[in-house]
């Protein structure tokens, strides 16, 4: 069973991936937050890794950026390798 430390190592690529996806969409944190109905601080915490994002939130984050969640998840999975 993985330890929390190992989990953290795997998760490290997620926050910069989220930030890059938002930037490619040409959105500020505030604009994305408005699109998903959450606060700008939620977006910031997801992008810095101080808050983990679950699958349902990942789907919303992608939708807010105008990105197909399945494609984004596949891109993220390729980064793991």
CATH number of the domain enclosing 26 = 1.10.260.40
Q: Which domain holds residue 67?
A: 4-80
Q: What confidence category does residue 15 fall into, taking pLDDT thresholds of 50, 70 and 90?
A: very high
Q: What global pTM score does this model have?
A: 0.88
Question: CA-CA distance, 77 to 68, in Å (whole number)?
Answer: 14
Region 29-34 average pLDDT: 98
Model pLDDT, residue 22: 98
Q: What confidence category does residue 58 fall into, taking pLDDT thresholds of 50, 70 and 90?
A: very high
Please check whether residue 13 is in contact with residue 42, taking contact to mean a CB–CB distance below 8 angstroms.
no
* Nearest CA among 70, 59, 11 for reference residue 35: 59
Collapsing DSSP to helix, strand or coil, 70 comes out as: helix
Q: How many domains does the chain have?
A: 1
Question: Higher model confidence: residue 64 or residue 11?
Answer: 64
Model pLDDT, residue 1: 46
* Nearest CA among 59, 40, 38 for reference residue 48: 40
């Amino acid at each position: 069973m993985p330890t929390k430390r190992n989990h953290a190592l795997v998760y490290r690529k997620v926050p910069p991936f989220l930030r890059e996806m938002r930037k490619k969409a040409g959105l500020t944190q505030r604009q994305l937050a408005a699109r998903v109905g959450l606060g700008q601080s939620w977006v910031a915490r997801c992008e810095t890794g101080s808050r983990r994002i679950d699958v349902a939130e990942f789907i919303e984050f992608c939708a807010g950026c105008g990105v197909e969640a399945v494609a984004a998840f596949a891109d993220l999975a390729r980064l793991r390798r």
